[in-house]
């Protein structure tokens, strides 16, 4: 296979057959400008996803059928995830082979923002549960066009010894994007159609700012290898021939499942499980708790990203973050009151912030194919989408038939604890 000339070297590691990929010129990209530009794009994605998932989408489902809101939300979330399941790796693979004067990634980053805006405008006008699920799935596909191209740009523009701190900057999208998304969505709790459009406009604006700050290089002169469709499709499965890549994928799936179980039904467990003070609504409780989660996530993200770069190690931080999240999830089990949720938000946020900054760095260091980095990072992103498909169904079963919200928190805690063990199977990264 022809080598991409922007690549400098591929060190083939014997354990797991992992390709340690570096890129010619990655050190010449200004770190803060490029990491900042990519971070703004990631932040805008989280504004759309979290604002929709945490507030607007469950409210829309509740208005359509309040009696069956939990089951319906689980069903439509699963349906949407099925539709979006392969969007990220396919989008990443397409961006790998895109040739334009704007580069490989930029066209897809912008296309995802434009298409998502159009579909979000339609979503707010739907009043049927099944159609909400289908449209939300289409939006996840279009947003994944941007996300896959965005993550494919990380190893091309960030040198390996800076990927921990770059992961911290990218990880800021989770707490800050979540905070902004929840705050915006809460303003439009009684005007859902407008809220969806505002969130999508934030996404498109973020993508535009990102490509201005972090422009790609022209890809017109890059060679492109001809592949039969069967070979192109088979390449998606070959990535799992790398042991390190496979265990990284499993770890990501477990950790995101823990996070999804905890956050996707937040509006409902604050209404039905946590004892709120008189006058505090579930929506206002989310707005109160989110800053605590945000501050601790930022602190954990920067501390872990900086320290992992300095120490040259990733795995100890991932194990530690999983155990912190597991411990935090015990708190609502033993004390389901709003005051305890402050402590929960601080611990859970710190653990997840630590995890995401280091996990982003680690995922770029276990890529099995240097020529298909966008595709392979997209496959790791598939762990996110797959767990979004599984989490609502698992959560609805737990809430309705297996211990209620207590069973939900316990399952999430066990999931985090088990995930801490999977990363120890990765041998090519410290």
- Domain membership of residue 416 (yes or no) is yes
- Domain membership of residue 104 (yes or no) is yes
Residue, of 266 and 343, whose pLDDT is higher: 343
pLDDT at residue 29 in the model: 54
Backbone phi, then psi, for 19, in 5-degree steps?
Answer: -95, 115
Q: What is the arithmetic mean of pLDDT over 340-365? A: 90
At residue 38 the predicted structure's pLDDT band, cuts being 50, 70 and 90, is confident
Structurally, how many domains does the chain consist of?
Answer: 1
Q: What is the arithmetic mean of pLDDT over 281-305? A: 86
Q: What is the arithmetic mean of pLDDT over 107-128? A: 93
Q: Assess whether pLDDT exceeds 50 at residue 7.
A: no
CATH at residue 204: 1.20.1250.20
Q: What is the arithmetic mean of pLDDT over 397-420? A: 90
SS3 content of the chain, % helix, strand, coil (to 5): 75, 5, 20
Say if residue 277 is exposed, middle or buried (CB neighbours under 10 Å; 0-12, 13-18, 19+).
Answer: exposed
pLDDT at residue 20 in the model: 42
At residue 387 the predicted structure's pLDDT band, cuts being 50, 70 and 90, is confident
At residue 327 the predicted structure's pLDDT band, cuts being 50, 70 and 90, is very high
Residue, of 146 and 165, whose pLDDT is higher: 146
The residue among 390, 118, 80, 94 whose CA lies nearest residue 257 is 390
pLDDT at residue 231 in the model: 67
pLDDT tens per residue, range 46-101: 999 989 988 899 999 999 999 888 888 878 877 777 777 777 778 888 888 888 88
Q: Assess whether pLDDT exceeds 60 at residue 15.
A: no
Q: Assess whether pLDDT exceeds 80 at residue 174.
A: no
Q: What is the arithmetic mean of pLDDT over 4-12? A: 30
SS3 275: strand
Where is mean pLDDT largest: 86-90, 135-139, 324-328, 395-399? 324-328
- Domain membership of residue 228 (yes or no) is no
Q: Assess whether pLDDT exceeds 50 at residue 288.
A: yes
At residue 258 the predicted structure's pLDDT band, cuts being 50, 70 and 90, is very high
Q: Assess whether pLDDT exceeds 50 at residue 260.
A: yes
At residue 232 the predicted structure's pLDDT band, cuts being 50, 70 and 90, is low
Residue the block writes with tokens 């701190």: 165
- Domain membership of residue 226 (yes or no) is no
pLDDT at residue 103 in the model: 85
Mean pLDDT of the chain: 83
Q: How far apart are CA 320 and CA 192, in angstroms?
A: 39
Q: Assess whether pLDDT exceeds 50 at residue 3.
A: no
**How much of the chain exceeds pLDDT 90, in percent?**
34
Region of poorest pLDDT, from 14-18, 255-259, 407-411? 14-18
State which H helix or E strand residue 8 sits in: strand 7-12
- Domain membership of residue 245 (yes or no) is yes
| Residue range(s) defining the domain that contains residue 328 | 24-217+241-425
Q: Assess whether pLDDT exceeds 90 at residue 337.
A: yes
- Domain membership of residue 229 (yes or no) is no
Q: What is the arithmetic mean of pLDDT over 355-377? A: 79
Q: What is the arithmetic mean of pLDDT over 206-233? A: 79
- Strands 19-23 and 7-12 turn out to be antiparallel
pLDDT at residue 200 in the model: 95
Q: How far apart are CA 379 and CA 87, in angstroms?
A: 9
Q: Give the Cβ contact number of residue 332 at 10 Å.
A: 25
The residue among 423, 299, 300 whose CA lies nearest residue 365 is 423
pLDDT at residue 25 in the model: 44
pLDDT tens per residue, range 370-384: 667 777 877 887 787
**How much of the chain exceeds pLDDT 70, in percent?**
89
- Domain membership of residue 223 (yes or no) is no
Q: Beta strands of 187-326 (E only): which ranges? A: none
Residue, of 265 and 30, whose pLDDT is higher: 265
pLDDT at residue 238 in the model: 74
At residue 44 the predicted structure's pLDDT band, cuts being 50, 70 and 90, is very high
- Domain membership of residue 175 (yes or no) is yes
CB-CB contact of 367 with 17 (8 Å) = no
């Amino acid at each position: 296979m022809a080598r991409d000339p922007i690549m400098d070297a591929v060190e083939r590691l014997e354990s797991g057959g992992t390709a340690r990929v570096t890129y010619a010129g990655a050190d010449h990209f200004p770190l803060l400008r490029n990491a900042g530009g990519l971070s703004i794009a990631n932040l805008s994605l989280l504004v759309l996803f979290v604002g929709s998932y945490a507030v607007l989408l469950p409210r829309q489902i509740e208005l359509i059928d309040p009696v069956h809101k939990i089951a319906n939300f689980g069903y439509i979330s699963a349906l949407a995830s099925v539709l979006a399941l392969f969007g990220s790796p396919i989008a990443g693979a397409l961006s790998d082979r895109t040739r334009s004067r704007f580069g490989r990634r930029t066209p897809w980053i912008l296309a995802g923002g434009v298409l998502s805006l159009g579909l979000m405008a339609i979503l707010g006008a739907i009043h049927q549960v099944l159609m909400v699920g289908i449209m939300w799935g289409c939006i996840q596909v279009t947003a994944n066009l941007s996300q896959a191209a965005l993550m494919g740009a990380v190893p091309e523009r960030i040198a390996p010894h800076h990927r921990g701190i770059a992961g911290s900057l990218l990880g800021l999208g989770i707490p800050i994007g979540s905070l902004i998304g929840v705050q915006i969505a809460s303003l439009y709790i009684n005007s859902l159609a407008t809220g969806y459009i505002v969130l999508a406009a934030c996404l498109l604006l973020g993508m535009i700012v990102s490509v201005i700050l972090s422009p790609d290089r022209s890809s017109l002169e890059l060679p492109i290898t001809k592949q039969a469709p069967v070979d192109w499709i088979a390449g998606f499965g070959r990535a799992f021939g790398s042991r390190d890549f496979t265990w990284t994928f499993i770890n990501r799936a477990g950790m995101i499942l823990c996070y999804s179980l905890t956050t996707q039904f937040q509006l409902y467990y604050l209404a039905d499980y946590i004892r709120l003070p008189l006058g505090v609504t579930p929506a206002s409780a989310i707005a109160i708790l989110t800053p605590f989660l945000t501050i601790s996530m930022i602190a954990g993200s920067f501390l872990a990203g900086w320290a992992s770069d300095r120490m040259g190690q990733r795995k100890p931080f991932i194990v530690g973050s999983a155990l912190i999240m597991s411990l935090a999830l015990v708190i609502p089990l033993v004390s389901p009151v709003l005051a305890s949720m402050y402590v929960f938000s601080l611990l859970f946020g710190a653990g997840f912030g630590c995890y995401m900054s280091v996990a982003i760095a680690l995922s770029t260091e276990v890529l099995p194919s240097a020529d298909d980095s966008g595709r392979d990072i997209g496959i790791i992103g598939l762990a996110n989408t797959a767990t979004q498909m599984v989490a609502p169904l698992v959560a609805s079963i737990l809430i309705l038939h297996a211990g209620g919200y207590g069973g939900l928190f316990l399952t999430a805690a066990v999931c985090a604890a088990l995930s801490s063990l999977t990363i120890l199977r990765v041998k090519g990264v410290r």
